[in-house]
Chains A and B, each alone.
Chain A
């Protein structure tokens, strides 16, 4: 009984992933991350402009995050809610938000430390293999927690891309940018295929008489 209730709850949460919008959002995030860093690396910018662009990076991502939130809601209102129903999730309370922010910060710090120091210096593993591996672990967690099986494929691809990126004969920065772009592409493609299949498998539903 307890398991059944847990299963229903988990399935209800996993509805967020049903149309591929979330994956496309993550894909765009990685894509913008790659494009932004590519611009900083390759454009003949003055030191001041480069520094300003680096500082403005979090603001750009924040703007993209909110912009995408609005876009996703617009698409969901026009497609998803009309086909398989509308749902609004519980807003997170302050305590939950604080815990999530703390967990995010610790995870981010841990990942940065692992990628820049523990991986290459202690374990003697290429940083791109570490990035691919850690992102694959996070994706595996999402796949398991939300019960979204296609994310297992995304996780494996991320790890393989990390291995592939580590063998490229390019500058370290360009290899990182290319890896981010490829990972973004994989997420976006996964979302796009899911969205296409979702549209093919569902049709606009009707309210009760």
Chain B
């Protein structure tokens, strides 16, 4: 199962903080997962924005082209603002 986390403004917009999901058929990369999630409705379309939403796979920031394994941990979040 994929574990997907959503943080900060992305969590608020999607209304979800985390979920477990079987890797959907036809989804191989982070970008494809974002597109698949975006079909849930307008609140989820933000995930497709490469400037507004960053992605981490297994707790490391990753490009949209990153290939996903069936048990990966994925996170969607806005650009970081620590310090």
Tell me whether A and B are bound partners: no
B→A interface (CB under 8 Å): none
A→B interface (CB under 8 Å): none
